[in-house]
DNA sequence: TATTGTACCCACACTACGAATGGTACATAT
DNA sequence: ATATGTACCATTCGTAGTGTGGGTACAATA
């Protein structure tokens, strides 16, 4: 695992990690089924916090690029290569853009949309008055 | 128009103005069809900026509580009383909550949802990588 | 000419929210 | 005893959005 983390860089550490691992999967230096270093191991190698590495691993697992098998360690997902090209962000964007367009069409202020959005993210009802 | 604006208050000036006008409509001291002071007039009376009053008027007009007739001035909307009870915010909340639930159901991170939301509000495409 | 509402430009300070990271502890399974 | 992934709490920091102001200008109408 030769991974270069740029602490001075602009993008967050966990994101850099995600990107680099994706890259290694795409250029075949990480084959499907291959074992990845443990969270603590990698954190130690790269001088990162465990949580930072853990966060990267969680995102990668959600996108089906890696697979964690509990105490047995973490492995590259069988369909990792294909799943590297799926763009979840684009779909999320489309969904939200559509809803926002509807709301704006109803004359809602951007400010009101943002407030309601924040409330909805917090699972709290919109308050009256 | 006896309106009391609390500059020290916590809620924004334009919001106070909106609420007080709604209140006067509900308690019948502002009857449908009645004329409201002009923006500049009211701004001067209350020692507010024109833009602040204009903002309040715009919100009230969108909610069909007042009606601006161009150069002729602004009047209380015929259906003002009924429209005071309509809660646009609740509808906006419901729309967004539904979309968010869909996204979360797909495993999307709250952080990713927020980023996509910000992008969508700015009408800018979600960027790759 | 004076008035109406409206629409731009710009700016400035404040606040609050989330992002990112760190530290510690846990259940599980060998 | 040791290793795995994971969850919870705390803290710092940056930034985006908000509210408000100032100014100027416009078309429409009396």
Find tokens 């800018």 and name the residue.
Answer: B124
Distance of A84 CA from C11 C1′ (whole Å): 45
pLDDT at position A129: 40
> What's the mean pLDDT when you consider all of chain B?
89
Q: Nucleotides of chain C within 7 Å of a protein C-beta?
A: 3-8, 17-25, 27-30
Distance, in angstroms, between A96 CA and closest chain B CA? Answer: 6
pLDDT at position B128: 44
Compute the CA torsion angle A55, A120, A99, B106 (nearest 10 deg): 40
B127 CB-contact burial (10 Å; exposed 0-12 / middle 13-18 / buried 19+): exposed
The set of residues, in sequence order, having a beta carbon less than 8 Å from that of A105 and lying 6+ positions away, is none
Instruction: For each of the domains in chain A, give its residue range(s) and CATH number, in order of start.
Output: 13-83 (1.10.10.10), 88-121 (no CATH)
Q: Is the pLDDT reported for residue B2 higher than 80?
A: no
pLDDT at position B1: 55
Instruction: Give the residue among A128, A124, A125, A117 at the shortest CA–CA distance from B88.
Output: A128
Residue B124 confidence class, pLDDT cut points 50, 70, 90:
low
pLDDT at position A124: 67
Q: 3-state SS of A83-122?
A: HCCCCHHHHHHHHHHHHHHHHHHCCCCHHHHHHHHHHHHC
What is the full DSSP assignment across A34-97?
A: PEEPPHHHHHHHHT--HHHHHHHHHHHHHTTSEEE-GGG-EEE-TTHHHHTS--HHHHHHHHHH
Nearest residue (Cα to C1') for D19? B12
Residue B77 confidence class, pLDDT cut points 50, 70, 90:
very high
Q: Is the pLDDT reported for residue B129 higher than 50?
A: no
Mean pLDDT by 10 residues, chain A (129 residues): 69 91 92 93 92 94 91 92 92 95 93 95 64
pLDDT at position B37: 94
Residue B14 confidence class, pLDDT cut points 50, 70, 90:
very high
Question: Containing H/E element for B56?
Answer: helix B50-62
CA distances from A60 to B41, B43, B95 (A): 60, 56, 30
Is the distance from CB of A76 to CB of A36 less than 8 angstroms? yes
Residue B5 confidence class, pLDDT cut points 50, 70, 90:
confident
């Amino acid at each position: 695992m030769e991974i270069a983390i740029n602490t001075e860089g602009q993008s967050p550490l966990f994101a850099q990690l995600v990107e680099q691992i994706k890259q290694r999967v795409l250029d075949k230096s990480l084959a499907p089924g291959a074992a990845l270093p443990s969270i603590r191991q990698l954190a130690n190698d790269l001088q990162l916090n465990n949580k930072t590495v853990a966060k990267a691993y969680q995102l990668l697992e959600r996108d089906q690029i890696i697979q964690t098998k509990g105490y047995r360690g973490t492995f590259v997902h069988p369909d990792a290569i294909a799943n590297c090209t799926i763009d979840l962000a684009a779909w999320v964007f489309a969904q939200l853009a559509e809803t926002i367009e509807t709301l704006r069409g109803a004359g809602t202020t951007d400010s009101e949309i943002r407030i309601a959005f924040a409330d909805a993210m917090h699972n709290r009802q919109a308050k009256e008055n």
